[in-house]
Amino acid sequence: MTYALTTAREGGFCRLMKHPAVQNAGWAVAGIAILATLWLIAGYFLVNNPTTKNFAGFGLLPTLKVFPELWGLGKIQNALAASGFRLGWGLLIAIAIGVPFGILMGRIKWFRDFTNSPFQFVRMISPLSWMPLAVLVFATWNGSIIFLIAIAAVWPVMFATAAGLAKVDPNWFKVARNLGARPWHILTRLILPAISFDVFSGIRLALGVAWIVLVPAEYLGVTSGLGYSIKDARETLSYDQLTAMVVTIGIVGYFLDSILVVLIKRSSWHRG
C-alpha cells in the first residue's frame, strides 16, 4: 500500500514537472538566475576596482537593498502612476486611430494606395524628433508626452490591422452580404473577430515602442514618472536608486507584455 502511494505521488510529480506552464516557469527562473549571477559578478568587480568603486551602487545587492526604501517613500508607486497615466492615454489614442485606419487600408484599395506612401514617410520619422513641436503645440507637459507616445505607437497598430484584414478571405464578405449582414454586422461579427489576433499583435509591438519612448520623453519638464526618477537619481549620483528604477521598468514592461501575449494566444485560431 505504501509503495503504491509513493509511486502515485512520484507519477503525479513527474506529470506536474512535464506540464508546459511549469517548464516555462522553470526556464524563466533559470534565465533570471543567470542574469542575476552575471550582475552580481559585475558588481563585485565594480566594488573591488579602485577606478570604479564610486559606481558600486550599480551592483545587484545595493539595488535590492534600496527597493524597500523607495517603496516606503512611495517613489515607485508615484512614478508608476504618472507613467501609467501617460502610457495608457497614449496607447488608447494610438489604438483609437490605428485600428479604424488599418481597417480602411485593408478594405479599400484606393485608400491604401493613396495613404501608404505618406504614412510610411511619417512612420520613419523618429518619435522623439517631434519633441520640440509637441512642446510648442501642447499646453501641458503631459499632453506633449502623450502625443509622443501616441505617434510612436499608432503605426504598429495600423499596419498590423491592415495586414490582418488583407489576409481575410474575400468570400467571407460575399457570404455575409448574401445572408443579409449589414455593414455594422460585417464589422462586429466578421472583421473584428477575424483580425483580433493581428490587432493584439500590433498592440504588443506598439507597447514595446511606447515603453521605450516613454522614459526619454519624461526627461522633459515633468517632475514625476519613471523617466524623471532616473534623471533625478543620475543627477544626485544615487546609482542604486537609478538601477532600481531601471529594474522596475523591466518588471512592469515584462508584466504588460505577458498580458498581451495571453490575449494574442486567446485570439489565435490555432490555440487548440
Nearest to 61 by CA among 40, 30, 37: 40
Q: What residue segments make up the domains of the chain, in order of their start?
A: 2-48, 60-267
Q: In which band, very low, low, confident or very high, does the pLDDT at 15 lie, cut at 50, 70 and 90?
A: low
Q: What is the model's pLDDT at position 185?
A: 80
Nearest to 225 by CA among 71, 89, 77: 77
For residue range 167-181, list pLDDT tens digits in order.
888 888 888 888 787
CA–CA distances in Å: residue 255 to residues 249, 259, 260: 10, 6, 9
Backbone angles phi, psi at 117, to 5 degrees: -65, -50
Q: What is the model's pLDDT at position 170?
A: 80
Residue 270: pLDDT above 70?
Answer: no
Q: In which band, very low, low, confident or very high, does the pLDDT at 140 lie, cut at 50, 70 and 90?
A: confident
CA–CA distances in Å: residue 124 to residues 8, 9, 86: 60, 58, 23
Pick the more confident residue, 4 or 144. 144
Residue 152: pLDDT above 90?
Answer: yes
Cβ burial of 102 (10 Å; 0-12, 13-18, 19+) is buried
Query: What's the full length of the chain, in residues?
Result: 272
Pick the more confident residue, 184 or 252. 252
For residue range 206-263, list pLDDT tens digits in order.
999 999 999 989 887 788 899 999 998 888 888 889 999 999 999 999 999 999 998 8
Q: What is the dotted CATH code of the domain comprising 60-267?
A: 1.10.3720.10
